[in-house]
Amino acid sequence: MIATVTSQTITDLRASLDNCRTQQADCKAKLQHQQNILAQYQTERTAFDKAQERREQEQAAFRPQVREASEMLAKAQDYAKAASGSIKHAAFDEVLAAEELHNEMRTQLQEMVERHLVEQKVDQPFIDDVDANIRSAKLAISQLEAQQTALIATSRRLHAELGQATYDLLSGALKPAREAVDKLETDSTRAQDIYARMRAEFFPQLDEWPDLKRKLQAENQVTDNTIENALTLFLHFCEVLAKQPIQDPEIVRLFTFENYIYDEWQGRTNTIGFEEQARLIRLKLAELQHTK
Let me know whether 159 and 243 are in one domain.
no
**pLDDT per residue over 45-84, tens digit each?**
999 999 999 999 999 998 998 899 898 888 888 888 887 7
Does residue 160 sit in the same domain as residue 239?
Answer: no
Q: Above pLDDT 70, what percent of the chain?
A: 71
Query: In this predicted structure, what is the pLDDT of residue 230?
Result: 54
Domain boundary among 112, 130, 165: 165
DSSP annotation string for 213-271: HHHHHHHT-----HHHHHHHHHHHHHHHHHHS----HHHHHHT-GGG--B--TTS-B-H
Per the domain annotation, does 221 fall within a domain? Answer: no
Three-state secondary-structure class, residue 99: helix
Domain count along the chain: 2
- Does 204 fall in a domain? no
In tens, the pLDDT along 127-160 reads: 999 999 999 999 999 999 999 999 999 999 999 9
> What are the C-alpha distances in Å from 152 to residues 11, 17, 107, 122, 279?
20, 11, 64, 46, 57
Average pLDDT, the chain: 79
Please report the pLDDT score of residue 4 as a whole number.
81
Q: Which residue, of 165, 182, 208, is where some domain finishes?
A: 165
The rounded Cα 103 to chain-centroid distance in angstroms is 68
Last residue of a domain, one of 150, 165, 180: 165
pLDDT digit string, tens, across residues 223-256: 444 555 555 555 555 555 555 554 555 444 454 4
Range of the domain at 43: 7-165
155 with 252, same domain: the answer is: no
* 63 and 161 belong to one structural domain: yes
- Is the full-model pTM beyond 0.85? no
Residue 243 lies in a domain: yes
pLDDT of residue 196: 78
171 falls within a domain = no
CATH code assigned at 41: 1.10.287.2610
Pair (114, 244) in one structural domain: no
Whether residues 131 and 233 fall in one domain: no
